[in-house]
Amino acid sequence: MMRVIKIITAMEKETIKNKVFEIIKSRLFYKDTPLTIESKLEDDLWMDSLDEVEILMELEKEFGILIPDDDLGRCHTVKDVVDYMIRRMEE
């Protein structure tokens, strides 16, 4: 069976990135915490595993996809989350 891969445009990637930032920003305990693409979820943003699960659940809802439980804990930075979501949207 042939697998079809969806091509994500630069604009769609930017939209995904912006939505990831928006969702993560909404979950920050300290609202004035600087949020960058290189921010580490635990060390810089003070997020624990429950916060990460809640973010991924929100991303599932926003993008209409399912994130396998095995994928939880693989994202350590905001960039990891953005890259993960872009890969998932290309599937």
Tokens representing 69 are 């439980």
Amino acid identity at 42: E
Tokens representing 41 are 């979820």
Per DSSP, 81 falls in state H
The set of catalytic residues is: 48
